[in-house]
Amino acid sequence: MISPRTIDAVGLHVANIDALSRALAGLEGGYDHAWVDGFGLGEEAPRHERLVGGDRRSAAVAAAGVMAKTTRDRLMRGPVAESCPGYGFEAHVGYGTAQHLRALADLGPSPAHRRCFRPVAYTELALFVDEASEGGIDIDQTVGLEGDAWPPAGPFDDREAQADRDR
């Protein structure tokens, strides 16, 4: 798992490349071939092959995408929803539905939210402007940099998730 805070710090693309590189490295060479959908991981990454349009060209790549989305949705419905009550993650699993946007407007961003996601960024900006007009701003509180724990504990934890939490 990649924490929302890491994605905010380095960007989604860089975070994905790092996660894919670490996943391949964790296999310690115990694979015959590795396709990466859409982009290469760089020369320093374990051996792999870039496959543009991989989910359309390879059943294995498409299946990996389905498995990743299914795992993400389970995390959102389970441990994330439990650790962030009131946001409705169990229903919308983090997609920008009307229910989700209402919860953001009412509750503000949770530790599960990426600050770089546009609706969250706009909410954060509104909080910042409101606090600035009142004269007192605690920027760490406003942008949520107090060190959120991610991901929440749950049945889908594994060594990779623990390593991400320990960083």
The DSSP letter of residue 93 is T
pLDDT digit string (tens) for the chain, length 167 residues: 788 999 989 998 999 999 999 999 999 999 999 999 988 999 899 999 999 999 999 999 999 999 999 999 999 999 999 999 999 999 999 998 999 989 988 998 999 998 887 767 766 665 544 444 444 434 333 333 334 444 554 443 444 444 444 45
Q: Quick one: pLDDT at residue 125?
A: 60
In this structure, what are the phi and psi dihedrals at residue 38, rounded to the nearest 5 degrees? 95, -35
Question: At 118, is the secondary structure helix, strand, or coil?
Answer: helix
Q: Give the pair of three-digit tokens for residue 54.
A: 């991989």
What pTM value is reported for the model?
0.67
Residue whose pair of structure tokens reads 């060594």 in the numeric block: 159
CATH of segment(s) 4-166:
3.30.420.10
Q: In this structure, are residues 49 and 35 in contact, taking their beta carbons and an 8 Å threshold? A: yes
User: How large is the C-alpha radius of gyration of the chain?
Assistant: 18
Q: Quick one: pLDDT at residue 141?
A: 39
Q: Quick one: pLDDT at residue 124?
A: 60
Q: In this structure, are residues 16 and 24 in contact, taking their beta carbons and an 8 Å threshold? A: no
Q: Can you tell me the distance from the alpha carbon of 30 to that of 97, in angstroms, rounded to the nearest whole number?
A: 41
Q: Quick one: pLDDT at residue 14?
A: 92
